[in-house]
Chain A
């Protein structure tokens, strides 16, 4: 089935050690989003790609970067993870002209 797939489901990284989270989609959607959701909090948009155009949220820390090498893949890079970056990271996609966003299973990041 067409879907949004995030890898890995669980990631443990060391404080300050760069980490990359992956998202792929078979939906051929134009837009890909990265959200951060901390425990008992609302998902918070970090940035999104509209095709190749990158759109950063004003309050997203510089520590967070993203790459979209092609339509199907999008990566979230955390350059120097801190303890406060422990969260569920959610990738979502949507198609131009269709309002609904579809989420992947999420990657739960633990920083030790």
Chain B
């Protein structure tokens, strides 16, 4: 059973601080990694994707990938109360057929940004 593990939190950070979210995965053949944000009662919204080792920055968000350690992280700089949500790490399964992206999700980390 391929798994994606996240600390469920809650993770509380003050407004303006850096929030650091972590994820490990077991499927060594996975090649695509995603972070989704999910507000309570809503569907997941894609915020970052990363495919190569290293860092990828998009605005206040930075995703980091280390395939050797099977580790993905998301940093949120200058955290805002509107960032308060559950962040889901998702990994594309290595056995996905060509052109389809069957995702294995973690349970998510609940982030709370305190004003």
Q: Which residues of A contact B (CB under 8 A)?
A: 30-31, 33, 40-45, 48, 50, 55, 88, 90, 94, 96-97, 99-106, 108
Q: Is the CB of A96 within 8 A of B107?
A: no
Interface residues of B in 8-46 (CB under 8 A from A): 8, 32, 34, 36, 41-46
Q: Which residues of B contact A (CB under 8 A)?
A: 4, 8, 32, 34, 36, 41-46, 49, 51, 88, 92, 97, 99-108
Interface secondary structure of B, over-half rule: loop
Q: Is the CB of A105 within 8 A of B44?
A: no
A-B contact pairs, 27 of them (CB 8 A): A30-B99, A30-B100, A31-B99, A31-B100, A31-B101, A42-B4, A42-B106, A42-B107, A43-B88, A43-B103, A43-B105, A45-B103, A48-B102, A88-B43, A99-B49, A100-B34, A100-B49, A100-B101, A101-B34, A101-B46, A101-B101, A102-B46, A103-B36, A103-B44, A103-B46, A104-B43, A108-B41
Across the interface, B100 reaches (CB within 8 A) one of A43, A50, A88, A90, namely A50
| Chain B residues whose CB sits within 8 angstroms of the CB of A43 once the complex forms | 44, 88, 103, 105
Across the interface, B42 reaches (CB within 8 A) one of A45, A55, A94, A106, namely A106
